Amino acid sequence: MTQPIATSPFENASVTAADASPRTVAVIDIGATSIRMAIAEIYPDGQSRTLETLVQSVELGHEAFDNRRLSRRSIEKSASVLKRYKRVLREYGVTSPKDVRVVATTAVREALNRLAFADRIFVATGFNVDSIDEAEVNRITYMGVMPHLRAHPDLADGKSIVVEVGGGNTEMLIVRGGNVLHSQSFRLGSLRLLKTLEGVRASAVRRRAMLESHIRRTLSQITDAIKRDTAIHLIALGGDMRFAAHQLLDDWDGNSLAEVPTARLAKLTEKLMSLSEDKIVKRYDASFIEAETVGPALLAYTLLAKHFDLPHVYVCDTNLRDGLIHDMAVGGSWTADFRNQIVRSAISLGRKFDFDETHARNVAELSRKLFDQLQDEHQLDSRHEVVLFVAALLHEIGMMVNVRSNHKHALYLIRYSELFGLSRDELLQVGLVARYQRRAYPQPSHEGYGTLPQQERVVVSKLAAILRLAIALDDTRSGRVREINCVADAKHLVINVPGLDDVSLEQMAMRENSGMFRDVFGLPVILRAGKLE
């Protein structure tokens, strides 16, 4: 019988502070059409208050989505904008690099010269640009939107499709009962849509029809990921939908979920699609950034709502910068709820490959206990615990491909999967830990491993060594080893198994599997039965 998806007993991380005074921080979002900065105060209890927001238009998306390169002119303009932002930060007393986070999304991430862009920004400003991927965006989106979903009584039942149509991509989360069922990124964005019309001389009606054709192709992909077995709600994020909500709802406070009737959204979209950018700016007091993208973006939202026959669309004010500020407030730590979402996603992936779920869960739980009790030896943080736990769950999914080389196939399947909440770098770490659960030790010539910086190579080796111990402890695949007690001294690591009188089979497996732990940590491993004296 298939077991219900359960999560690991991760505990919430707490936020502490040396004193009660707020800390002033800033986040800068380098997007496809603009560079935005939010300056905020973070309080010891994790709360924050935005002090100022700035926005400056750029044309990075036009170039990146056209020829996958950023021009020297655009790079220098971006550097100039960030220099001005840095001067503003000095006025607020924000001078430490740890108090500023600069991220770049789709446009910079897709540019072939993204490293040159990041290097130029660093030389000009000292800012380190972090090109975040879809997984990081989804994580921030999830953290921002879930409080709204939980607080809204109408969204407690059914599925919520959380969608943001950006300049380059459309990001989607499918949530039900607080659990993420699916996350995916689609190459559909307002600027990409506009690119399809470049050089086309046609009427407004014909141009709209062309945009609809592109959008509907993506809609078919979205609907393939959504099982229509219950009520569906659409939660729209992004500046374009916030613009629409403010135009259509006189009483929206900008904080709570807005409920926009689909029929009224369709009429506004129709009107905007018939106007030039200059007329949109004048008639709606919009910025040129909004005027350029609002029509195609709203058309995508409207068609999605109509496709599911939804009478209204919920609009949420959550944005990337708010999420980044919250992330800084909690020190980048993952909440227990978010970690458990990652675990749910991993178990779902394991089931697709018909993994031995009972054994996988036992090994994962033993891995977590080893990680916890060996903290003084490995000195790793809570995120690495999640990497180990997921690798333990998925270490045998390659069995479906090939039994003999299942560890290598596990690396490939994990690395190129769509596990919710884990970035590409984190997926590589998970995959490598699973790859080294048996046979060869890490080698520079191995795929993926040799390209890692030394610090990450050491992390992979430490986690893989711990995973091998956990696998040995469940060598009988009976789950009879539940509790362990680890004692490390200068010469040995002793693992005691309370409640069992005979662990001879596990001792044989431990002798075969503990060599990597000895080489990494310098401690031979001894397994003993019975209670610790």
Report whether pLDDT(531) > 60.
no
Residue 388, token pair as written in the block: 């180990």
What pLDDT shows up at residue 454? 93
| Lowest mean pLDDT, pick from 205-219, 271-285, 449-463 | 205-219
Residue 517, token pair as written in the block: 């732990």
CATH class of 135-325: alpha beta
| 342 alpha-carbon distance from chain centroid | 10
**CA–CA dist 51, 92 (Å, integer):** 10
Report whether pLDDT(1) > 70.
no
**CA–CA dist 69, 60 (Å, integer):** 9
What pLDDT shows up at residue 9? 42
Considering the four listed CATH numbers 3.40.50.2300, 3.30.420.40, 3.90.550.10, 3.30.300.30, the one that applies to the domain covering 23-132 is 3.30.420.40
Say how many Å lie between the first and final Cα of the chain, rounded. Answer: 40
Residue 43, token pair as written in the block: 């309080």
Report whether pLDDT(5) > 50.
no
Mean per-residue pLDDT, 95-119: 95
DSSP symbols for 299-360 = HHHHHHHHHTT-SEEEE----HHHHHHHHHHTTTPPPHHHHHHHHHHHHHHHHHTT--HHHH
Mean pLDDT of the chain: 89
pLDDT tens-digit profile of 457-476? 999 999 999 999 999 999 99
| 178 alpha-carbon distance from chain centroid | 16
Distant-in-sequence, close-in-space partners of 126: CB < 8 Å, separation ≥ 6: 86, 97
pLDDT tens-digit profile of 8-56? 444 433 444 445 689 999 999 999 999 999 999 999 888 889 999 999 9
Same topology for domains 23-132 and 135-325, yes or no? yes
Mean per-residue pLDDT, 387-402: 95
What pLDDT shows up at residue 533? 47
**Which is it for the CA torsion 135, 139, 140, 144, positive or negative?**
positive
| Lowest mean pLDDT, pick from 14-23, 143-152, 189-198 | 14-23
pLDDT tens-digit profile of 421-437? 898 899 999 999 999 99
Considering the four listed CATH numbers 3.30.70.1350, 3.40.50.300, 1.25.40.10, 1.10.3210.10, the one that applies to the domain covering 336-529 is 1.10.3210.10
Could you give the residue ranges of the DSSP H alpha helices within 132-287? Answer: 134-151, 190-195, 204-224, 239-248, 262-273, 277-284
pLDDT band at 95 (very low <50, low <70, confident <90, very high): very high
DSSP symbols for 106-140 = HHHHH-TTHHHHHHHHHHHH-PPEEE--HHHHHHH
Mean per-residue pLDDT, 234-245: 94
Report whether pLDDT(137) > 90.
no
Mean per-residue pLDDT, 91-107: 94
Mean per-residue pLDDT, 62-72: 92
Mean per-residue pLDDT, 506-516: 96
- Per-domain residue ranges of the chain: 23-132, 135-325, 336-529
pLDDT > 70 fraction of the chain, expressed in percent and rounded: 95
* β pairing state of 258-261 and 312-315: antiparallel
Burial class (CB in 10 A: 0-12, 13-18, 19+), 463: buried
**CA–CA dist 474, 469 (Å, integer):** 9
**CA–CA dist 26, 321 (Å, integer):** 9
